[in-house]
Structure 1
């Protein structure tokens, strides 16, 4: 009975962890102290929940070329790049982003911009990762 319980627990953990994928952003030359990860998890039939966490991310106004906001971009499987939002900086140590997409993003990247509602990236690219 104990063996079956342990096997069930191991299988449950394996199923939970297989439903999501985490990618590490490479070290940025613009903000080298920042550590950033992107996690994608399938929600239902078509939606995908993307969570991006950053720690030690300098405020955009402290960059060598000061900017106002960090904008997050997602690239779909068809190659379309979309502005999907910006970081909510909780404090100087941690920034988070969480959103559900109706498509599978294959790549996400972050830029420092002067305004939030841009249709194409115009500022400094901070870092990029594939999902």
Structure 2
């Protein structure tokens, strides 16, 4: 009886933890077909959301056609407004890039654009990866 209760408690804790940490996956890109990645979203004790973005096989932005200066990560919020989360710089053999950002609102979608400069306030460049279908 104790074993069943312990297993039930552990399963409940596992389900609760997974509910708090949703995982979003980028859809394949026609611009950079090999690029892929995920976003883990976690709610912190202050009711903010921490987003951990990880992508791989993200070609250098200067090798795109047309060439761009940088990749920027954006978050679409409930009210359809867009917030810039930060910049990605792929490196290494796997062309991997990571970003950790905090947001007050829960993300509805996350997307990456190729931009002419990192100072952009709104997305203007080509969408490279997105979690929207």
| TM-score by shorter chain over 0.5 | yes
Q: Which moved more, 1:89-98 or 1:78-87?
A: 89-98
Structure 2 counterpart of 1:35: 36
Partner Cα distance (1:39, 1:12) in 2: 18
1:39-54 equivalences in 2 (<5 Å): 39-54=40-55
| C-alpha contact (below 8 Å) 1:59/1:92 kept by paired residues | no
Partner Cα distance (1:92, 1:28) in 2: 20
Structure 1 counterpart of 2:98: 96
Q: Which moved more, 1:38-47 or 1:50-59?
A: 38-47
Structure 1 counterpart of 2:84: 83
Aligned residues: 130
Residue 113 of structure 1 and its aligned partner are, at CA, apart by: 1.0
SS in 2 for 1:7: helix
When normalised by structure 1's length, the TM-score is 0.88
| C-alpha contact (below 8 Å) 1:58/1:92 kept by paired residues | no
Residue 35 of structure 1 and its aligned partner are, at CA, apart by: 1.1
Return 5+ residue gaps in structure 2 as ranges: none
Structure 2 counterpart of 1:112: 114
When normalised by structure 2's length, the TM-score is 0.87
